[in-house]
Amino acid sequence: MNRETQSLLLLLVGGAVLRISLTDVYLRYVKEGLRPFLIVSAGMLLVIGAITLWREIAERMRTADTTHGHSGPWVAWLLVLPVFAIFLIAPPSLGSDAAARAGTSVPVPENTDYPPLPPGDPAPLTVLDYATRAVFEGDASLRGRTVQLSGFTSPREGGGVRLNRIILSCCAADGRPVKVTMVGELSRELPADTWVEVQGRYDPRVDSDPANGEKIPYLRVSSLREIDKPTNPYEE
Amino acid sequence: MLFRNQLVGLFATPAMQTWATVFVAIVVQAMPFLVVGVVISALIAVYVPQSFFDRVLPKNPALAVPVAGMGGVALPGCECSSVPIAGALVRRGVTPGAAFAFLLSAPAINPIVLVATAVAFPGNPEMVLARFVASALAAIAMGWLWLWLGRSEWIKLPARPDMSGMSKPAALATTARHDFIHAGGFLVVGGITAAVLKVWVPAHWLTVLAENPIVAVLALAMLAVVLSICSEADAFVAASLTQFSLSARLTFLVVGPMIDLKLFAMQLGTFGKSFALRFAPVTLIASIGASVLVGWVLL
């Protein structure tokens, strides 16, 4: 790989990272907080690539030097793969396939005194908050309340539909699903990866996730509507 | 266009899409840290004279190792930054044992990573202390081991372009490009591998492994190696591995920032094959040993 190609690779990688971080596409892969760092590092790659490319071209014009060393390692060619992936495939955010591959993740809470549900009828909750309350304290704070959750659907093993959300700590590589089984007339056979907003009430049944044996709580759905995929498809 | 259609067809299955998302996520997440690492490394090469390191590090190499190891506290980043920086330190004449203690400790003991650990384990603040102590212990032990047994001919730094006659900014850009090209390709190798394992290793295997305490420690050490998660995120993953004992999860947190597939590939590119093939397995043993010891005392 000659030096001009190395500079071009920096421009390509910098361009790809800048492209996803100037739109909302980066939120499919990493968290919102990384955005300024993505923009700055992409800018630095573009500047470094441009300076070195300009120098190589100037040098070549001056000396007509064709023996420019092939100094880059072969493995550097692999840097085109993330660029291709971003520009050509544009991988979607993690969905029902990722949810099926990993067990539901409801971390044991540090204390069992849950704050009361947020006010409102229905009370808006994250899927993680609902699942944690339902698994660890049953109906203590959920009794008699209608809650509203949003997430994407996936098929339940043995029939039925689940509501899922992927929790991200840092990037999609550490994404962990939280799952809730939906029951009730409205949770009919929805195709996987449909984004929905549901309202419903606590149901005491639980499933055992075949992937890790953790409990998957139930939600008795009273209303359901399809929504657009949210800008940030993950929960924290 | 034809090529694009074939590529899109290949990636139309859900499993391949999950793989591609995880792969792009690893590379994108690492990118700011890699760029910061290669720029700091280039700044050291171009602007910091060798006399600076002679002044700040003790003359005695055996003392320089712990000083450099604790110096890792000052680099708020993850392992993608520390590999090129350690390479720059060795070039600048820092004794390799000290540079390696820094390489191993910096991603694990800096404030950002320790705060992330505290947030991920709200009920177990002793995890933060255990992680700090075990990581520093393993890094310093590796530095001393290198002083004792290491041979400088194992290290083969890729030849940097000749920068004589360049202005300093031009030399800075050329050095940064060189380091980025060398470390970046290997980052992609690590990202590909880690994404394959993340997608295709069944989760229920872990449940079986968690049952025996010794198997659990070794299993999480291997999981840390294959998953190659950034050290700023690994605490959250460890916290979610609730089937495992705290000691096993400590091993996950100590091993991951010191040696994983992505780091091994980057060390291969930065220090050469003879180095990486010796250094990586010994690092794995040292980091498991330090975690078991510290886990036994503190957890």
Encode pLDDT of B235-283 as tens digits: 877 876 777 899 999 999 999 999 988 889 889 888 999 999 999 999 9
Query: Which residue of B27, B36, B194 is in closest CB contact with A82?
Result: B27
C-alpha to C-alpha distance for B145 and B282, rounded to whole angstroms: 10
The answer for B 60-99 residues in CB contact with A (under 8 A) is none
More confident residue, A205 or B240: A205
A80 plus A185 within the same structural domain: no
The C-alpha of B146 sits at a distance from chain A's nearest C-alpha, in angstroms, of 27
**pLDDT-above-70 percentage for chain A:** 94
Pick the residue with more confidence: A115 or A88? A88
Lowest mean pLDDT across A215-229, B87-101, B159-173? B159-173
Tell me the average pLDDT across B33-51: 83
Residues A68 and A124 in one domain: no
Tokens 């929504």 belong to residue: A227
Note whether B202 contacts A: Cβ–Cβ < 8 A.
yes
B258 touches chain A (CB under 8 A): no
Residue for token pair 């639980």: A206
Under 8 Å between Cβ of A178 and A104? yes
What is the largest distance, in Å, between two alpha-carbon atoms of chain B?
Answer: 63
Q: Residue B280: what pLDDT?
A: 95
pLDDT at A110: 63
Q: Region B40-65: what's the mean pLDDT?
A: 86
Q: Is there a contact between A91 and B11 if contact means CB atoms under 8 Å apart? A: yes
Judge if A104 and A201 occupy the same domain: yes
| B59 CB-near residues (< 8 Å, 6+ apart) | none
Residue A79 has pLDDT above 70, yes or no: yes
**pLDDT tens for each residue of B105-133:** 988 898 878 887 887 787 789 999 999 99
Of the candidates B22, B180, B189, the beta carbon closest to that of A173 is on B22
CB proximity list for B234: less than 8 A, separation 6 or greater: A174, B224, B252, B253, B256, B257
**A78 and A101 in one domain?**
no
- Closest CA in chain B for residue A11: B177
Statement to judge: residues A61 and A174 lie in one domain: no
What DSSP string runs through B65-120?
HHHHHHHGGG--S-HHHHHHHHHHHHHTT--HHHHHHHHHHHHHHSHHHHHHHHHH
pLDDT of A202 reads 95
A72 or A173: whose pLDDT is higher?
Answer: A173
- The residue of chain A with its CA nearest to that of B120 is A169
pLDDT at B78: 66
Of A45, A52, A86, the CB nearest to B174: A52
Q: Using CA of residue B70, residue B71, residue B74, residue B80, what is the dihedral sign?
A: negative
Measuring CA to CA, which residue among B184, B181, B255, B260 is closest to residue B30?
B184
In single-letter form, the type of residue at position A116 comes to P
The rounded mean pLDDT for chain A is: 89
Query: Which candidate from B23, B181, B232 shows the least CB-CB separation from A76?
Result: B181
Alpha-carbon gap, residue A226 to B205, rounded angstroms:
35
The ipTM (two decimal places) reads 0.93
> Can you give the pLDDT at residue B252?
94
Q: Kindly tell me if the per-residue pLDDT of A70 is higher than 70.
A: no
Cβ contact, residue pair A103, B202, below 8 Å: no
CB pairs under 8 A between A and B: 202
In this structure, the answer to whether residues A214 and A183 fall within a common structural domain is yes
**Are residue A27 and residue A119 in the same domain, yes or no?**
no
Chain A interface includes B28 (CB < 8 A): yes
Quick one: A103 and A119 in the same domain? yes
Q: With cut-offs at 50, 70 and 90, classify the pLDDT of residue B292.
A: very high
pLDDT of A117 strictly over 60 = yes
Separation between Cα atoms, residue A219 and residue B151, nearest integer Å: 63
A144: closest CA of chain B, how far (Å)? 30
Examine the domain organization and report whether A182 and A142 are in the same domain: yes
Say how far apart CA A100 and CA A72 lie, in whole Å: 41
The answer to whether B252 faces chain A, any CB pair under 8 Å, is no
**Would the CB atoms of A211 and B4 count as touching at under 8 Å?**
no
A128, A170, A216, A229: best mutation site toward chain B, by most B Cβ within 10 Å?
A170
User: Does residue A192 carry a pLDDT above 90?
Assistant: yes
User: Between A188 and A176, where is the model more confident?
Assistant: A176
User: Does residue B8 surpass a pLDDT of 80?
Assistant: no
Across chain B, mean pLDDT equals 86
Same domain, A63 and A121: no
CB contact under 8 A, A82 and B8: no
Find the residue in A nearest to B9 (Cα).
A89
The last residue of one of the domains, among A88, A121, A146, is: A88
Whether residue A101 and residue B180 make contact (CB cut-off 8 A), yes or no, is: no
Q: Which of A3, A34, A110 sits opposite B123 (nearest CB)?
A: A110
Asked if B269 reaches chain A (Cβ–Cβ under 8 Å), the answer is: yes
**B129: closest CA of chain A, how far (Å):** 18
Q: 0.80 exceeded by the pTM?
A: yes
How far A120 CA lies from chain B's nearest CA (Å)?
Answer: 29
Work out the angle at residue A106's Cα, subtended by the Cα atoms of residues A136 and A190, and round it to the nearest 5 degrees: 105
Taking the Cβ of residue B4 and every Cβ of chain A, the question of whether any pair is shorter than 8 Å is answered with yes
Q: How many domains does chain A have?
A: 2
Mutate to test the interface with A, among B7, B18, B205 (most CBs of A within 10 A): B18
At residue B2, the pLDDT reads 63
Q: Are A192 and A154 in contact (CB under 8 A)?
A: yes
Do A50 and A109 lie in a common domain? Answer: no
Question: What is the reported pLDDT for A67?
Answer: 53
Q: Which of A105-119, A171-185, B13-27 has the lowest mean pLDDT?
A: A105-119
Domain regions of chain B by residue span? 16-298
Most confident option among B85-94, B155-164, B180-189: B85-94
- List the structure tokens of B226: 């294959």
Of A26, A41, A52, the CB nearest to B35: A41
**Which of A76, A107, A212 is facing B184, going by the closest CB pair?**
A76
Interface residue B168 vs chain A (CB under 8 A): no
The last residue of a domain, from among A28, A61, A88 = A88
Chain A residues with CB inside 8 Å of B159's CB? 71
pLDDT tens per residue across span B132-179: 999 999 999 999 999 999 888 898 887 777 666 778 888 899 889 988
Using CA coordinates, name the residue in chain B closest to A81. Answer: B188
Q: What is the CATH number of the domain that holds A175?
A: 2.40.50
| A55 contacts B170? CB cut-off 8 A | yes
Cα torsion through A187, A192, A193, A195, rounded to 10 = -10
Q: Are residues A119 and A11 both part of a single domain?
A: no
**In terms of residue numbers, what domain contains A215?**
96-235
